[in-house]
Amino acid sequence: MKVGVVGLGAMGAGIAQLCVEAGVDTIGREVSMELAESARDRIGHFLTRKVEKGQLEQAARDDAVGRLSLTTALADFADCDLVIEAIVEELAPKQQLFAELERICKRDAVLATNTSALSVTEIASATSSPERVVGMHFFNPAPLMPLVEIIRAELTSDDAFETAYAFGEKLGKHPIRCYDTPGFVVNRVLIPLLNDCIRVLDESRVTVEDLDAGMKHGAGWPMGPCELVDLVGIDVHVHASDALYEKTHEPRMAAPPRLVAMRNAGLLGRKSGRGFYTY
């Protein structure tokens, strides 16, 4: 089996790492070789850390890195059995990409999108073979998070759906089956819940630390809501909230003003060094 990954940012590189660790020949595409090589270096670094921790043999690490080839040309995906897209979270670029992939890839190749908030059906509508388009929503960081949502769009075939599900299992993940509804399963529950938590900050005049402690020690959460939003990225959370609100018009889906203000101020959480907490 040969897999292609389009986009080697944080998510794409994590997915590519999972593929090569599972023994799958993988081709990763970025807009420049410089970006592609930087992603391969990051993957190599993460695998080296696994060797240092005794979780991976050095030879297995070297074999895995050797299974990743890099390209800037989509044409190199012509012989892939499955292509996973992990580019910018915007509909138009994804639709344009899937239209190109359809022309390039062999007819029985499955085309998967890693979107977290967009409609898989709308992405598939840019192709004339929407039956082979499916959602494979990995969670960040992909190498560590066990879940992958396998999303059936309106016209997804059973074959494509089951191929994506089986591949999720092959990667050592826990796949779950769901339909193409706004937010799928986890984000449909989690985003309004996190938004509620942030609103409680202002309404009950609780501190960030006490809110996080409350949800950890009272509800059994492994990390508090403010810690979690900082980890995800406040800009990412607001973007996903906006997308869900646009689809559902449920008030709980809308990002709280406090989060929008933080995003506008560049307080994005861990990645910017400051969000609810300072890093």
Question: What are the residue ranges spanned by the domains of the chain?
Answer: 2-179, 189-270
Does the domain formed by 2-179 have CATH 3.30.565.10?
A: no
Among 30, 85, 102, 149, the one annotated catalytic: 149
- pLDDT the model gives residue 44: 96
∠67-70-73 over CA atoms, to 5°? Answer: 135
Active site annotation includes 149: yes
Length of the chain counted residue by residue: 279
Tell me the average pLDDT across 38-55: 96
Active site annotation includes 129: no
The mean predicted confidence, pLDDT, of the chain is 96
Chain centroid to CA 53: 26
Active site annotation includes 187: yes
Whether the predicted pLDDT of 117 surpasses 90 = no
- pLDDT the model gives residue 136: 98
Reported confidence tier of residue 230, pLDDT bands at 50, 70, 90:
very high
Reported confidence tier of residue 140, pLDDT bands at 50, 70, 90:
confident
Tell me the average pLDDT across 225-254: 95
Whether the predicted pLDDT of 54 surpasses 90 = yes
Reported confidence tier of residue 123, pLDDT bands at 50, 70, 90:
very high
Whether the predicted pLDDT of 174 surpasses 90 = yes
CATH number for the region 189-270 comes to 1.10.1040.10
Token pair, residue 230, equals: 């900082």
Among 114, 119, 187, 241, the one annotated catalytic: 187
Tell me the average pLDDT across 199-219: 96
Among 21, 102, 114, 116, the one annotated catalytic: 116
The answer to whether residues 230 and 262 touch, using CB atoms and an 8 Å cutoff, is no
The answer to whether residues 82 and 4 touch, using CB atoms and an 8 Å cutoff, is yes
Residue-wise pLDDT for 251-274, tens only, equals 999 999 999 999 999 999 999 999
Among 85, 119, 137, 237, the one annotated catalytic: 137
Token pair, residue 196, equals: 């509620």
Show Cβ contacts of residue 107 under 8 Å, excluding neighbours closer than 6 positions. Answer: 129
